[in-house]
Amino acid sequence: MKYIVETEKTVKQAVFDLQEAVKKHNFGILHIHNLKETLRKKGVDFPNECQILEICNPQKAKEVLTDDMSMNMVLPCRISVYSEEGKTKIGMIKPKALLEVLSNSESLMKVAEEVEAITMEMIKEAK
């Protein structure tokens, strides 16, 4: 269900490169959550870097929501860039695996397959 790759890049550089890949593939970045910074502001010392990018392709989102409005609970797509045990990783939950748990819609599975292929390519380009 998880798709995770390691990179030699820093978290900061991988996030920058991922942002470029997202734009290249006609997705938009809705928000970037800096988990370490957010926790620090709440008084929690968290050692790992972790930035979570919420990304969306409006046309794909419309297809999904038109078919099943309850899928709004798993949108937008999220790609995380984080440090763990001294290594930088980029990962996501695979859309197809997530959809298999939530729906049996063939049309949604087609969209999930397309989005999964594109997001995996974005991660590969950012790696």
Tens of pLDDT, residues 64-119: 999 999 999 999 999 999 999 999 999 999 999 999 999 999 999 999 999 999 99
Residue 80: give the domain boundaries: 2-126
Q: 61 CB contacts (<8 Å, ≥6 apart)? A: 75, 76
Structural domains counted in the chain: 1
Nearest to 91 by CA among 23, 18, 16: 18
CATH code (residue 23):
3.30.310.70
Tens of pLDDT, residues 15-37: 999 999 999 999 999 999 999 99
